[in-house]
Structure 1
Amino acid sequence: MNGLPRHLFEGLRVLDLTRVMSGPFCTSMLADLGAEVIKIEMPDFGDEGRHFAPHVEGESTYFALLNRGKRSVTVNMRKPEGVGLVRDLARKADILVENFRPGVMERLGLGHAALQELNPRLIYASISGFGEDSPYADWPAFDLVIQAMSGLMSVTGEAGGRATAVGESIADVATGMFAAWGIAAALYDRERTGSGRRVEVAMLDSVLSMLLTGLARRLFTDQPTRRVGNRHPETYPVDSFATRDGDLVLVGFSDQIFRRICEAIGRPELADDPKFRSNRDRNANEAELRAVIADWAAGLTREDALARLRAADVPTAPVWTLDDVLASGHVAARGMLQPGSNGKLGEIRLVPQPVQFAKSERVAPMRVPLLGEDTDEVLRQELGLDDAAIAALRAAQAI
């Protein structure tokens, strides 16, 4: 290893003032690369995510997946002594991440300008629903709110049906990833300049930036976006079909692949039919083409249909459940379940960020902290407080 850290972010200190999902997802990605993450939580209550189901042995397993590898410190930021502790920890941190509504940190005296004076190398990342200069800056934002306002729900669902949310918290996850990317970029810049900087990311911006198919249509044509079910909005046949014992998807993204599909379903003549010769033709006659493929699939088992499509080199896959993918062998081969521990749950399995780096191992096992489990230790190690000082803070209800 030539003396380099075993983990890419080893030696970095992160002060985590986030809760629920977008912020904790971001800081968990940093922890996955070896950063020391100190998570600040309210005494007695903690991160709101601790109260999200499901719970096992009184611990939120939702929280566990989002807060692996962190140290939990309870600080009452409504008390001046608590604010002072956060300022002292920020003075020694490389990165601070917060996801309060815009203006909250400034009112606490913990805004970027104030902390930059204390620590010019600090990278200060702010996550919010809409950003501080949005007309909606004061609106509360959760994943479903952003899915609704971004346009994502409007293009998700069956044709003619109601707008539908994606089945996971995609707005939170995407925002957390963008924030981690921004922090990594700011770290690189700090290596060149010696100075930290502010990083700001809004959830609505994050999801909007990903709606490339719809934006390509709205920004460059006069065609409206619409809900189209599982088919691709522009290309056909890219769709899902029911077999005798389960669904599959196929991706006929080019004329060449469409010709292979026709061969696989025993209808090679369709590739030269004027109704289906080009993507424009296939879109214009989608209902007829869909019926042909659907009738073929309905007469076969899923494994038989998949085998025929794969033999023709057609991109295809079964529609799996989460249990299916967990049992598939892929998860184990890629190391996507890693060992962890928790004071109440015992030995557990955790899902790391998916990027693998040569010459760097995964951080494992990772501990999921109980609420306030590390308070005294962090105050002693990081701030040099003795037992009497810690007791005084506890008496003042600051920790």
Structure 2
Amino acid sequence: MENKGKNILEGVRILDLTRVMSGPFCTAMLADLGAEVIKIEMPGFGEEGRHFAPFKEELSTYFMLLNRGKKSVALNLKDADGVRLARELAATCDVVVENFRPGVAARLGLDHETLRGDNPNLVYASISGFGQDGPLANWPAFDLVIQAMSGLMSITGERDGRAMAVGESFADVATGMFASWGILAALFDRERTGEGRYLDVAMLDSVFSMLLTGLSRQLYTGADARRVGNRHPETYPVDSFSATDGDFVLVGFSDGAFRSIVTAIGRPELADDLRFTDNRARNAHEGELRAAIAEWAAGRTRAEAVEALQKAGVPSGPVWSLGDVVASPHASVRGLVSQGTNAVLGDIPLVRQPVHFHGAPAPETQRAPLIGEDTDAVLTSLLGLDAGRIADLRNKKAIA
């Protein structure tokens, strides 16, 4: 269907009660698609993510990346008037997202059952570490805890080394993506049924569901997956190698791909060597095969190695740093980094959701808000409060 110049989620309003990463990432993804996201922050302190390094001119760049395109409203949720305002805002919204510990939203009077009384068609998403039920529901959860308990750490790292965490907040990001996916599905369903839904999104569930290679072994053979470093746990050669100036990876996912690899490294006879004739044999003789490829790689630069492999049609590439990615012409063409704005810093770099919607309008410049930057405007436009009422609430410390 042709897009008529509207953003994908134009007209959708979201009340964002989340903090730190999983929830803010979810709502940032939706803001990228044109949803109006109203972020509730505590007066003065703001959201916890504002205090996470790194900083630029005392502003958290971590926070800015995760809260792009949102409106910041400073409400004191420890004050009855502040909670009342949050409920009134929720009544104007299509979606509410929260990632408090289970039970906290209910104690505040901002849980699904309460808000649904004011807004029966509400889509409400609760994000937590372990879900809203189960024996672990009340455990505090951060990304490292979930990586450890989901099974991800157990399969990450060198085969003889310690279990290692992935070098980014993978559990938070994965959960945020699943939450945004669930919200979009619930909104679609609401268009058909007229009914909202309650979503229970857990970090542990999210990460566990993505460990498909390991689960294909554990669920069907009873054998736990094992750490294998950079190689694939079932297929060889799928691994990283060292050139004279850095590392690169290659993927020999089939007999044909393996033949292309040994041709590229000048050892075509290895394709017919009985030690390497199929994947089972290559796994059994991994050491000899790895030595042959490593010897070839050690005499070449990374660019030379990748060029030879690419010429032979082998999936391969350099191990890039983030700086390498940002500086690459490909990143520029694909728009991996976009321009945003901030009232203090001016122009700032931001990173949007990565899906290109053909026919959608060009993305607008997004703003990373200061604490409470939009309080007055939102309370006036959505709740009809006049200047006197806003001043009174501010004097009572209900808003900032």
When normalised by structure 1's length, the TM-score is 0.98
Q: How does 1:156-195 map to 2 (within 5 A)?
A: 156-195=156-195
- AA of the residue aligned to 2:275: K
Q: SS of 1:300's equivalent?
A: coil
User: For 1:217-236, what per-residue CA distance to the aligned partner results, in whole angstroms no more than 9, with x for missing partners?
Assistant: 10011333111110000000
Q: Name which of structure 1's ranges 73-82 and 220-229 shifts more when overlaid on structure 2.
A: 220-229
Which residue of the partner structure matches residue 250 of structure 1? 250
Counterpart CA distance in 1 for 2:2 and 2:235 is 50
Q: Give RMSD over aligned pairs.
A: 1.2
Change (3 A) 1:40 1:358: same
Find the counterpart in structure 2 of residue 123 from structure 1: 123
Three-state SS of the structure 2 residue aligned to 1:39 is: strand
Inter-partner Cα distance in structure 2 for 1:335 and 1:85: 38
Is the contact between residue 93 and residue 122 of structure 2 (CA under 8 Å) also seen in structure 1? yes
User: Once the 2 structures are TM-superposed, how far is the Cα of residue 159 of structure 1 from its aligned partner?
Assistant: 1.2
Tell me the distance in 2 between the aligned counterparts of 1:294 and 1:11: 56
Q: 1:2, CA displacement in angstroms?
A: 8.1
Question: 2:14 aligned with 1:45, yes or no?
Answer: no
The answer to whether the 8 Å contact 2:23/2:98 transfers is: yes
Q: Secondary structure at the match of 1:248?
A: strand
Structure 2: distance between partners of 1:246 and 1:205: 36
Look up the match of 1:347.
347
Q: Deviations over 1:279-320 (max 9, x none)?
A: 000111111111111111111111221222122111110111
**Partner Cα separation in structure 2 for residue 358 and residue 2 of structure 1:** 9
Deviation at 1:50, TM superposition (A): 0.3
Checking the alignment, whether the CA contact within 8 Å between 1:339 and 1:364 is kept in structure 2 is: no
**How far apart in 1 are the matches of 2:370 and 2:340?**
13
Instruction: Give TM-score, length-normalised by structure 2.
Output: 0.98
Letter in 2 for 1:8: I
- Contact kept? 1:6, 1:359, Cα under 8 Å: no
CA contact (8 A) 1:41 1:73 kept: yes
Runs of 4+ in 1 over 3 A off after TM superposition: 1-5
Partner SS for 2:85? helix
Distance 2:396 2:76 in 1: 10
Query: Is residue 49–residue 63 contact of structure 2 (8 Å, CA) maintained in 1?
Result: yes
Residues in 1 aligned to 2:348 and 2:80: alpha-carbon distance in whole angstroms: 38
**Distance (Å, rounded) in 1 between the aligned partners of 2:230 and 2:66:** 30
Aligned to 2:369: 369
Separation in 1, partners of 2:390, 2:12: 25
Q: Which moved more, 1:179-188 or 1:354-363?
A: 354-363
| Cα deviation code 1:250-307 (max 9, x no counterpart) | 0000001111111111111111111111100011111111111111111111122122
Alignment of 1:287-302 (within 5 A): 287-302=287-302
The answer as to whether partners of 2:54 and 2:60 remain within 8 angstroms in 1 is yes
Return the letter of the residue paired with 2:8.
L
Give the aligned partner of residue 103 of structure 1.
Answer: 103
Q: Answer whether contact 1:33 1:362 (CA < 8 A) is retained.
A: no
Change over 3 Å in CA distance of 1:361–1:335 after alignment to 2: farther
Could you tell me how far apart the structure 1 residues matched to 2:147 and 2:69 are? 29
Distance in 1 between residues matched to 2:3 and 2:178, nearest whole Å: 30
Q: Would you say the 8 A contact 1:131–1:201 is kept in 2?
A: yes
Which residue identity lines up with residue 127 of structure 2 in the other structure?
I
Q: Which residue of 1 aligns with 2:196?
A: 196
- Name the CA distance, whole Å, in 2 between partners of 1:10 and 1:28: 14
Q: CA deviation at 1:358?
A: 1.4
Give the aligned partner of residue 383 of structure 2.
383
Amino acid of the structure 2 residue aligned with 1:90: A
Paired residue type of 1:196 = G
Equivalent residue of 2:217, what SS? Answer: helix
> Which residue of structure 1 lines up, in the alignment, with residue 262 of structure 2?
262
Q: Give per-residue Cα distances to partners, 1:70-128, cap 9 Å, x unaligned.
A: 11001111111111001100111011000001111111111111111110111101100
1:343·1:369 contact (CA, 8 Å) conserved in 2? yes
The 10-residue stretch of structure 1 (240-249 or 307-316) with the greater mean CA deviation from structure 2: 307-316
Indicate the residue corresponding to 1:30 in structure 2: 30
Matched residues, percent identical? 66
Quote the Cα distance in structure 2 between the aligned partners of 1:185 and 1:287: 47
Paired with 1:247 and 1:225, the residues of 2 have a C-alpha distance of 25
- Residues 250 and 317 of structure 2 are in contact (CA less than 8 Å); yes or no, is this contact kept in structure 1? yes
- Partner Cα distance (1:99, 1:120) in 2: 21
Q: Which amino acid aligns with 2:60?
A: S
CA contact 2:3–2:360 (8 Å) conserved in 1: no
* 2: CA distance, partners of 1:276 / 1:2: 51
What does residue 210 of structure 2 align with? Answer: 210
What is the Cα deviation at residue 53 of structure 1? 0.5
Unaligned 5+ runs, structure 2: none
Query: What is the one-letter code of the residue matched to 1:211?
Result: L
